[in-house]
Structure 1
Amino acid sequence: MSTYLNPEKNRIPALLTLAVIGSVWGLLEMALGGFLHAIHFTYQGAVMGGLAISLMAIFMSITKKPALIPLLGVIAAAFKPFSALIFGEPVFSAYVINPAVAIIMEAVAFGAVAFIFKKAMEKHLLAQITTGFLSGALGIVLYAVIASVFGMGKWPMLDMAGKIDTIISTGWPVALAGSITLAIGYYLGKFGMPKLANFKTSYPRAYYITSAVTVVSCWVIPAVFHLGG
């Protein structure tokens, strides 16, 4: 009998998966997100938002725990100070705080939408596409609300029409990217789950060591770049 059929032996630790995927997301936000911001790439939001949604979809596919997804955003957001240090920006500045809040709002939005569509996502591609689109759009809306209330960026200076226009112009590329990348991420998680479970069962020590090394490496790499720079 395949070890994947034994739920006790093959249960993937949700918190360890959270640490691994959250750290990978944070490293990508720090490095790729910081680079795209530095070169003023027009579609930075779509690229990073789509990438974030794909990683959250992988986590959702593996653990089936949407309530933990906001914690992915918290872990990823914790990497943003490294981005400021490496690219020569103040740590306690809008360069760090604004994207960190945006990352957390992305995760909150995804967790909320995924909770609603949890069962449907397991069976229907359309539900995955819908979840990706809605979570991408909702993440922008939540950030706009938080930014307007707490005076972040240009949001407090915009009237209601300006806010709606900005939400639409920045939100649709992220929503469109999310509708594609969620389906991809969910498939990757579903496809890789049996292999990951069998690896954990057959080589438990290697599984935990590899996971720990991945997490530690994600945190060490930015520190090394900062010290080396």
Structure 2
Amino acid sequence: MNTYLNPEKNRIPTGLTLAVIGSVWGLLEMALGGFLHAIHFANQGAVMGGLAISLMAIFLSITKKPALVPLLGIIAASFKPFSAFIFGEPVFSAYVINPAIAIIMEAVAFGAIAFIFKKAMEKHLFAQITTGFLAGALGIVLYAVIASVFGLGKWPMLDMAGKLDTIVSTGLPVALAGTITLAAGYYLGKFGMPKLANFKTNYPRLYYVTSAAAVVSCWVIPAVFHLGA
């Protein structure tokens, strides 16, 4: 018998899912994002934005709670100081603060758009593609507003035309990446959910131990790299 048929018994703990996916996102931002920044990779925003959208889509597909998505961004942004330690940058520098704020804005944008399209996303691929595009674009717009107001990076020095041009040039690649990665992440979460639920029901202790180990590992790995640097 497929134990997933009992949804109440097989409910996946939202808090633990939040911790796991948020920590994985944070580790990727710290390691891959920091590396791409260090080598001045031209399409860093599209790569990291696409990965972020896919992870948020997995979370949404599992939990059905878009209002909690911003918490993923807060957890992920908490990893950015490790990037400073490992790559030799000041903790309170723009190298840390700017991307941390951008990560949170990505999550806020995704949560807002996903809340609007939640029901449609469950039925239609087009709604998922639209959500991915709008979430990617809105994340850049929100960051541009915050950066302009609080004087982050080059944004305060740009006139309105310059800001719009920068928003389009940086936001469009992320939005286009989101059209693919959101659908991929959503379906990954949707089709992986039954196996995850069965695993939790049949091996609850192993499920919780494995999940906790994943979270702890995500935080320990950058700490070890920092100590060894």
Identify the TM-score tier after normalising by the shorter chain.
Answer: over 0.9
Number of residue equivalences: 229
Superposition CA RMSD, Å? 0.4
Q: Is 1:55 aligned with 2:55?
A: yes
Cα deviation, 1:28-63, whole Å, max 9, x if unaligned, reads 000000000000000000000000000000000000
Question: What secondary structure, in the 3-state scheme, does the structure 2 residue paired with 1:41 have?
Answer: coil
Kindly state the Cα deviation for residue 5 of structure 1 after the two structures are TM-superposed. 1.1
Aligned-partner SS, 1:40: coil
TM-score by length of 1: 1.00
d(CA) in 1 for partners of 2:8, 2:159: 55
CA drift of 1:8 comes to 1.3
AA of the residue aligned to 2:62 = I
- The answer to whether structure 1 residue 34 and structure 2 residue 21 are counterparts is no
- Aligned pair 1:115/2:98, yes or no? no
Q: Which amino acid aligns with 1:162?
A: G
What is aligned with 1:135? 135
Q: Which amino acid aligns with 1:142?
A: L
Q: Which secondary structure does the structure 2 equivalent of 1:10 belong to?
A: coil
Aligned to 1:70: 70
How much does 1:2 deviate?
1.7
Whole-angstrom distance in 2 between the partners of 1:15 and 1:130: 28
- Which consecutive residues of structure 1, in runs of 5 or more, have no partner in the other structure? none
**Percent identity between the two aligned chains:** 89
1:223 maps to 2:229 = no
Shift of 1:143: 0.1
TM-superposition CA deviations, 1:151-202 (whole Å, max 9, x none):
0000000000000000000000000000100000001000100000000000
What TM-score do you get using the length of structure 2 for normalisation? 1.00
Gaps of 5+ in 2: none
Once superposed, which parts of structure 1, at least 4 consecutive aligned residues long, lie more than 6 Å away? none
Deviation track 1:57-84 (CA, whole Å, cap 9, x = no partner) reads 0000000000000000000000000001
